Amino acid sequence: MNSFFQRKYVVQGIFIAVALVLLARLFYIQVIDKSYFLSANNNVLRKVVIYPARGIILDRKGRILVQNEPVYDLMVIPREVVQFDTLEFLRLIKLDKKGFDKRLTKARNFSPYRASIFEKQLSAQTFAALQEKLTQFQGFYVQKRSVRRYPDSIASQFFGYINEVVPSDITRSRGYYKAGDYIGRTGVEKSYEDLLRGQRGVENQMVDAFNRPKGHFAEGAYDTLSVTGKKLISSLDRDIQILGEKLMVNKIGSIVAIEPSTGEILAFVSSPTYDPNLMVGREKGNNYMKLLRNPSNPLFIRPIMAEYPPGSIFKVINALVAQQMGRINAETRFFCPGAYYYGRRGKMGCTHAHGSLTLAQSIQFSCNTYYGNVYKQMIDRSGMRSVNAYRKWHDMVNHFGIGSKLGVDMPNEKKGLLPTAEFYTRHFKSDRWTSAYNISLSIGQGELGITPLQMANVAATVANRGYYYTPHLIRGIGEDHIVKAAYTKKNYSGVDARYYGPVIEGMFGAVNKPGGTAYPIAQIQGIEVCGKTGTVQNPHGENHSVFFAFAPRINPKIAIAVVVENAGYGAVWSAPIASLLIEQYLKGKITRPKYYTDRLYNANLLPGHKAKQKVSPRKQTDSIPKIEIKPIVPITPKSIVPHDQST
């Protein structure tokens, strides 16, 4: 009897134990382990992210500069993958076996049950071929998205490019971005990312065991629509942008053109450039590495990142500041014997013995001696200690946007270099220095560093006779063409409008009067161009050619700065390039003879090459003087690549 009861309890115990094991297993499967739920759910319901098209970008006349085209991401759910014809699959998507194994392993490591990207950005042609046989490859499906396309293949540094997000992007966005999303990495794409990206949507699809869509879950009640990104109207004029890039082929440098009345940037050329379409598609990574290794550094955005001594164009600023400080006026004359002498043995050479010159004539002929005297008047004869006078001069120059960021709507803008009084005091180990110690600043050499954007902005400030609008690349946002308030505010130079008259007269003479440093090569028939040439010292090779200008003289429509590295005189290369762009913008066509334009199109001014044709329009160009004192070692910004360094 006792034996019977013992067996009874044993049997009951076994049944209870089995029941508990089964209940525990069910609890694990249904509550803890999601694999069966996810697997079953994926066989019935698939959440497909609907990526919005990024906002398109137009030029100022409404012509498309950046648009979108469809591509397809091949997705995989590793647990759903069964044996299939791998060779056929690889042939369709143009992939090798090693790449297949690597991608499938990565997907399994991410999650065996959740969808992840197997192959990015299949073209429409590849997708069409794959779609016919997609049901044969269980566990794979295609998700549509769009990528950028650039019809004219221009302005690559202006637009920038987009990239797949990295973990730090996801963290900074507080979860908005997810793995596989794209983000603007440089240029306008980065500056206006929040507007361009749009809003993702989600589509809940019913699918069968063969990955075939069977309609929307709950008739789409739980779907969310994607929202296309905002349209941007850029300030660029496509015609002069194309012309500018053509003129800068086989040259290193920048072109920036601004509309003075608005601050809108009409042309933004960084040379050498690259086709922005190279930064799109499955070969993007390889193309990026090639550009990165290019010794000419086409990824470097020269208009806002390269910093050069401005050379003789800086005389325009010194002429204005000296008038405002009350040290000279329009009729002030200085005698030029062919050099400026200072200190015991100091000598700063000039291109000619100009004799007695007025302020306007000093700009027309670009007289170094005149500006040595002007600088001495401001620093040594202002009625205060030289170091304090320099501080005042520094602050007034800074009001022109020199030595500080202008606030252009692009990342990575450099502020340039405007040395402080404290810098010279530390260098000379005393605060008793005078104008003789940094006389090179009088003609835009020495420790100055100015970006091409800042040069163009100075030209716009002179054109407006004393103020400028913050330069910007986007003139309107969305269908309502919204303009940021910051771009409608005037920034004043601190120099009264009445002082601009003689300076503008000198700039007009430089282009249109015999003896002017840009006469007659920068003249345009029917248009009064006011400009100033510059030739910038470069210890690493040929000097840099610089020119800035605005036109027409009355009611200016365009201000422009051109820098061509290693090209020599400003009048020989930069001035005619600027002149053609001005003519194209104001007339809508080029009227110069073919030999004039061909010389510029065909010239190879890259380091190690010599131009086939050299033009020396005058002997009185802005050649570099010899300053017979030991120069201060220049400060070289770390961001500048070797061929951008200047002294």
* Closest to 421 (Cα-Cα) out of 437, 404, 444, 440: 437
**Res 152 pLDDT > 50:** yes
Which CATH superfamily groups domain 48-154+204-234? Penicillin-binding protein 2a (Domain 2) (3.90.1310.10)
What's the confidence (pLDDT) of residue 111?
Answer: 86
Q: Can you tell me the mean pLDDT for 25-52?
A: 64
Question: What's this model's pTM, rounded to 2 decimal places?
Answer: 0.85
What's the confidence (pLDDT) of residue 223?
Answer: 80
150 is written with which tokens?
């650039």
Give CA–CA dist 603/607, Å, rounded: 12
Q: Can you tell me the mean pLDDT for 176-204?
A: 90
Displacement of CA 233 from its chain's centroid (Å): 17
237 is written with which tokens?
């004029």
* DSSP class of 288: H
**Res 40 pLDDT > 70:** no
What is the 3 state secondary structure string of 355-395?
EEECHHHHHHHCCHHHHHHHHHHHHHCCCCCHHHHHHHHHH
Give CA–CA dist 545/433, Å, rounded: 31
Q: How far is CA 532 from CA 14, 142, 266, 459, 575, in A?
A: 101, 59, 20, 9, 8
What's the confidence (pLDDT) of residue 612?
Answer: 40
CATH code for residues 238-285+313-644: 3.40.710.10
Of 121-135, 328-342, 605-619, the range with the lowest mean pLDDT is 605-619
Residue 367 exposed, middle or buried by CB count within 10 Å (0-12, 13-18, 19+): buried
What is the 3 state secondary structure string of 541-555?
CCCEEEEEEEECCCC
What's the confidence (pLDDT) of residue 120?
Answer: 87
User: What is the identity of the amino acid at 183?
Assistant: I
Which position has the higher pLDDT, 626 or 283? 283
Q: Which residues contact 422 (CB under 8 A, 6 or more apart)?
A: none
Confidence of residue 14 (pLDDT cuts 50, 70, 90): confident
Give CA–CA dist 154/278, Å, rounded: 12
Q: What is the CA radius of gyration of the chain?
A: 33
Q: Which string of DSSP letters, residue by residue, matches 90-128?
A: HHHHT--HHHHHHHHHHHHHH-SSS-EEEEEEE-HHHHH
Displacement of CA 556 from its chain's centroid (Å): 26
Q: How far is CA 205 from CA 50, 81, 136, 215, 251, in A?
A: 12, 19, 19, 6, 54
Q: Which residues contact 68 (CB under 8 A, 6 or more apart)?
A: 53, 54, 56, 146, 147, 148, 149
288 is written with which tokens?
């990026």
Q: Which string of DSSP letters, residue by residue, matches 389-450?
A: HHHHHHHHHHTTTTTS----SSTT----B---HHHHHHHHTSS---GGGGGGGGGT-TT-BB
Of 396-410, 492-506, 512-526, 607-621, the range with the lowest mean pLDDT is 607-621
149 is written with which tokens?
């396309």
Confidence of residue 629 (pLDDT cuts 50, 70, 90): very low
What's the confidence (pLDDT) of residue 42?
Answer: 52
Q: Cis bond leading into 295, ω under 30°?
A: no
Find tokens 């920038």 and name the residue.
160
Give CA–CA dist 388/221, Å, rounded: 73
What's the confidence (pLDDT) of residue 44?
Answer: 64
Q: Can you tell me the mean pLDDT for 621-635?
A: 43
Share of the chain above pLDDT 90, in %: 65
**Res 575 pLDDT > 70:** yes
Confidence of residue 626 (pLDDT cuts 50, 70, 90): very low
Residue 194 exposed, middle or buried by CB count within 10 Å (0-12, 13-18, 19+): exposed
Q: HSE-up of 144 (CA within 13 Å, CB side)?
A: 14
Strands 182-184 and 162-164, bridge-based pairing = antiparallel
What's the confidence (pLDDT) of residue 114?
Answer: 83
User: What is the identity of the amino acid at 148?
Assistant: R
Handedness of CA 367, 368, 373, 376 (dihedral sign): positive
Strands 201-207 and 45-50, bridge-based pairing = antiparallel
Handedness of CA 332, 334, 335, 337 (dihedral sign): negative
Displacement of CA 139 from its chain's centroid (Å): 42
Give CA–CA dist 443/451, Å, rounded: 17
312 is written with which tokens?
């003789």
Q: Determine the length of the chain.
A: 647
Q: Can you tell me the mean pLDDT for 116-128?
A: 88
**Res 272 pLDDT > 50:** yes
